[in-house]
Copies of this chain bind each other. A is one copy, B any other.
Amino acid sequence: MDHLSTTFAALADPTRRAILARLADGEATVTELAEPFAMSLPAVSKHLKVLEHAGLITRTRTAQWRPCRLDAAPLKEVTGWLAEYRRFWEDSFDRMDDHLRELQNKRKNS
């Protein structure tokens, strides 16, 4: 399966997206990640394997724990793919300009 398909497939599951959202707040172990879900640990373990295979998480080993860390590189690739279609929902470039200016203003004021 090609890289982009693997990424999209990994993202096409709410459990896995929830795991990513959790990891956006920092590293976590398998048990910690599994806690919110009404499913067995091996099930979560499988989800993590899917995410790892898609390059969306990396895992290190510390004692008997395998903490997971988010790796957003594949998401960057997805935005690259999406960029090709941006013109279809942004009906005018001017509106995009407005949006960008707003972003820059926000930064200047922070």
Q: List the interface of chain A (C-beta within 8 A of B).
A: 2, 4-6, 8-9, 11-14, 17, 20-21, 24, 70-73, 75-76, 78-79, 81-82, 84-86, 88-89, 93, 97, 100, 103-104, 107
Contacts and interface: CB of A to CB of B under 8 A. Distances in A.
Shortest beta-carbon contacts, A-B, top 3: A72-B88, A8-B12, A9-B12
A5 B79 CA distance: 17
A84 B78 CA distance: 13
B8 A11 contact: yes
Contacts of A72: 85, 88-89
Given A5-B13, A12-B5, A104-B100, A75 B79 contact: no
